[in-house]
Structure 1
Amino acid sequence: MNVKIFLRLCFLTFALIISLASCQLNSNNQSGVDIVVASKGFTEQDILSELLAQQIETTTNLKVERRRFTSALVTHNALIAGKIDAYVEYTGTAFTSILKQKVINDPKVVYDKLKQAYAQQFNLEVMKPLGFENTFAMIIRGADAKRYNIQTLSQAAEYTPQWRGGFGYEFVEREDGFPGLAKTYDFRFAKPPRLMDLGLIYRALLQKQVDMINGNSTDGQIARLGLVVLKDDKQYFPPYEAAPIVRQATLKKYPEVKKAIAQLSGKITADEMRQLNYLVEGELQDIKDVVREFRKSKGLALPKDNISNS
């Protein structure tokens, strides 16, 4: 083939690819989506993401898209990059993992410092908490807690040489995760902790593949499976209040979003969050239905028929 013809074909092919990409971009822009809310990729986050989405859709004329990520850092980066507009974060996670600050145990101090830093560094608005805290929970089987008469993490330290831990990837790497916890309580497991997907971690504990796991204090499985949360008697973990975080640019463009989300402040207790998690994980109810019923119980407006399923 003639070199000039070959180069011309390459150029045309490249132009066609660019054209298609441009059409796709224009199609996305014309899809009518105004706001994108995100989840960090586990049940509670999916519920909270849907809660934000329904709240915005029912109190404004904006169309909302849902997206799902896999961790706090990935979701945070998507937020500051403008790929999403809002998600619910836990104050302790943002303070220690994102801002890399040392643990502070006063919830109000953490919130105030976080709100100021996020505004100055990232142009993000940290809104008032939803009303519950979801702290890390170190969990063992109920039978083991009874057998060894263990109620606290300090008491558990005596038995860790006989146990194996099973922890999520993020928990092992975080500043407020396993490394600091092990140092604080002098945990010395027989083997290195087993790194696990959070979706499998409870099953591994029940099947005795591991003896201690990290979960969340609002997990629906805890009571349902007869498990025990060990008390953080040295107050290692910082406060983890659930708070919506929104791009300031989004609030400036759509002021009604701030008013909509503000109506959720203080609306969810820890027991209610635990029950919502259970309805989805234990009874396999659809998240949209669970959120719709919860909002109804709180006297909030019901979703419109045109909710985006993106």
Structure 2
Amino acid sequence: MLDIKLKTFLEVANTMNFTKASKNLHITQPAVSNHIHLLEKDYQCKLFDYHHKKLSLTKEGQFLQKRVRTLVNDELILKEQLRMGLPTTEHLKIGLTKTIGGFIAMKPLSHYLKEHHYENATISIKNTATLLNELREGTIHLALIEGHFDNQEFDSLVYSMEKFVCVAHKDHQFSKPVKKLEDLLDETIILREDGSGTRALLVNELFKNNLQLEDFKKRIVINAMHPLIQLVEDDLGISFMYQSAIKEELRRGDLQVIPLENFEMSHNFTFVWLASSIFSEHYQEIAQDITNDC
């Protein structure tokens, strides 16, 4: 069972408020302060800073928060296994991003599930930011994502490397000859929602070229890949996405890839799970088995 001082620390780190933490834990505020003081004494470092009436985690506090989250989630899994009397391999809670789940990895995952006969398997299809939070909260065990992640907080295994391209309808009429990113600014751009790994990659690449989404004449935001691709097929605008997500549309000639002199990139699809988990070896085996079948 997790030490009460660590539970107190995690609650303060989550709420950034000693009073709220004491209410949530049903203990007094002096007890909360004492728990934090004892931890800082044990670890010989400050865990929190208080500046301009605002509480924040120190670097050491941020590191401890990540590790304690892992401990909490490992304990939840252990409790579940002991309560159900089942080994680890009977349960799988995995997350996939919408692009990966919709176009890339469902066949390898289906094959893996057929081979391993889980009694309880849960598949969560969300954007990258939501999946990372589900890992932190213990809702899922591992996730396959395309967005960026903190490699100090998560262990990882690369699934594949995919081309990230600009796409348009085969007969799309551009307002001017297109050679570079900035030649697209008069176009309507169709993109994913905040929190999407696909959107984050695009924003980052635009930033490298001193551009931003607001520079485009019009923007359409949608939170799913299938409808997004349909909008591009209906010639409502251009978009940026993984080439593997539209391989059939490209094969049929419905869509075209727009080559750009200052935009050529590939990005990894990556399995991630909480760093230093006691189940890390098991999660890596699952990730490797699915990767071997891709």
- Taking structure 1 as the reference length, the TM-score comes to 0.52
Deviation at 1:260, TM superposition (A): 4.4
**What is the distance in 1 between the residues matched to 2:286 and 2:198?**
35
- Larger relative contact order, structure 1 or 2 (CA cutoff 8 Å, min sep 6): 1
Distance 1:206 1:63 in 2: 40
Q: Which whole-Å CA distance do the structure 1 matches of 2:283 and 2:208 have between them? A: 43
Whether the 8 Å contact between 1:39 and 1:88 is mirrored in structure 2 is yes
Whole-angstrom distance in 2 between the partners of 1:86 and 1:172: 16
Counterpart AA for 1:204: L
Q: Are residues 1:86 and 2:146 paired?
A: no
Letter in 2 for 1:34: H
| SS class of match (1:169) | coil
Structure 2: tracts of 5 or more residues without a match: 1-78
Establish whether residue 226 from structure 1 lines up as the match of residue 254 from structure 2. Answer: yes
Answer with 62-71 or 256-265: which moved more.
Answer: 256-265
Residue aligning to 1:125: 155
1:273-300 deviation per Cα after TM superposition (whole angstroms, max 9, x unaligned)? xxxxxxxxxxxxxxxxxxxxxxxxxxxx
Relative to structure 1, the CA distance from residue 168 to residue 73 in structure 2 (aligned partners, 3 Å threshold; closer, same or farther) is: same
CA contact (8 A) 1:45 1:88 kept: no
CA distance in 1, matches of 2:193, 2:206: 15
- Match in the other structure for 1:203: 230
Provide the C-alpha distance between the structure 2 equivalents of 1:47 and 1:31, rounded to a whole number of angstroms.
34
1:66 and 2:90 correspond: no
SS at match of 1:209: coil
Q: Counting strand residues as a fraction of each chain, which structure ranks higher?
A: 2
Alignment partner of 1:140 out of 168, 190, 199: 168
Match of 2:271 among 240, 244, 247: 244
Unaligned stretches of 5+ residues in structure 1: 1-24, 100-117, 269-310
Quickly say closer, same or farther: Cα 1:49–1:201, change in 2 above 3 A: closer
Instruction: Name the SS of the counterpart of 1:76 in structure 2.
Output: helix
Cα 1:216–1:255 shift into 2, 3 Å: closer
TM-score w.r.t. length of structure 2: 0.54
Using the alignment, how far apart are the partners of 1:173 and 1:261 within structure 2? 21
Map of 2:132 onto structure 1: 76
Partner Cα separation in structure 2 for residue 75 and residue 213 of structure 1: 23
Alignment of 1:294-309 (within 5 A): none
Aligned to 1:300: none
In structure 2, distance between residues paired with 1:79 and 1:49: 20
Amino acid at match of 1:203: Q
RMSD: 4.1
Q: Deviations over 1:54-87 (max 9, x none)?
A: 537735x754512224210110111122211112
Count of matched residue pairs: 208
Q: Counterparts in 2 of 1:1-310, with a 5 A limit?
A: 30=84, 33-42=90-99, 44=101, 48=105, 51-52=108-109, 54-55=111-112, 58=115, 63-90=119-146, 93-94=147-148, 98-99=149-150, 118=151, 121-122=152-153, 124-127=154-157, 129-130=158-159, 132-144=160-172, 150=178, 152=179, 154=180, 157-158=182-183, 160-161=185-186, 163-170=187-194, 174-178=199-203, 180-181=205-206, 184=209, 191-197=217-223, 198-210=225-237, 212-220=238-246, 221-223=248-250, 224-235=252-263, 237=265, 239-248=266-275, 252-253=278-279, 255-265=281-291, 267-268=293-294
Contact 1:172 1:179 in 2 (8 A): no
Distance between the aligned counterparts of 1:44 and 1:143, measured in 2? 29
Distance 2:105 2:288 in 1: 14
Identity %: 7
